[in-house]
C-alpha cells in the first residue's frame, strides 16, 4: 500500500528575480484573467514553451527551396558514385 507522501503530486520549484515594473504587469494581467499570479505565470510559460517546441519541429523553406524540394521528389537525381558506394557498404554490413 502506498503512503500519502508517495501519492502526493511531484512538483518542482522555480524562483526568479524580476523588476518591479514586470511584477506589476504580471499582476495586472493575472487580475484581468481572474487568476492567481502563480497560475498566470505558469500558464503563460507553459504556453510559450509549447509554441517554441512545436516551432522547432517545423522546417521553413523559401519559395525557391520549396520548388527545388518538390522537383527533387518528382524527378529525383540519379545516384552518384558516392551514394552507390554507400549502399554497397550497407549491403555488405547488413548481409
Tens of pLDDT, residue by residue over 12-58, are 999 999 999 999 999 999 999 999 999 999 999 999 999 999 999 99
- How far is residue 60's CA from residue 68's CA, in Å, rounded to a whole number? 13
For residue 34, being part of any structural domain is answered with yes
Nearest to 29 by CA among 13, 16, 45, 15: 45
pLDDT of residue 49: 97
Number of domain units in the chain:
1
The CATH number of the domain where 28 resides is what? 1.20.5
pLDDT of residue 10: 86
For residue 6, being part of any structural domain is answered with no
For residue 71, being part of any structural domain is answered with yes
For residue 4, being part of any structural domain is answered with no
Nearest to 61 by CA among 73, 50, 51: 73
pTM above 0.85, yes or no: no
Find the domain containing 83 and state its range: 12-94
For residue 7, being part of any structural domain is answered with no
Amino acid at each position: 500500500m502506498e503512503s500519502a507522501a508517495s501519492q502526493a503530486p511531484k512538483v518542482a520549484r522555480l524562483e526568479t528575480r524580476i523588476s518591479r515594473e514586470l511584477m506589476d504587469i504580471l499582476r495586472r494581467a493575472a487580475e484581468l484573467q481572474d487568476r492567481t499570479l502563480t497560475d498566470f505565470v505558469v500558464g503563460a510559460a507553459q504556453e510559450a514553451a509549447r509554441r517554441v517546441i512545436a516551432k522547432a519541429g517545423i522546417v521553413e523553406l523559401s519559395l525557391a527551396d520549396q520548388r527545388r524540394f518538390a522537383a527533387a521528389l518528382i524527378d529525383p537525381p540519379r545516384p552518384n558514385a558516392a551514394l552507390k558506394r554507400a549502399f554497397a557498404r550497407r549491403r555488405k554490413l547488413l548481409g
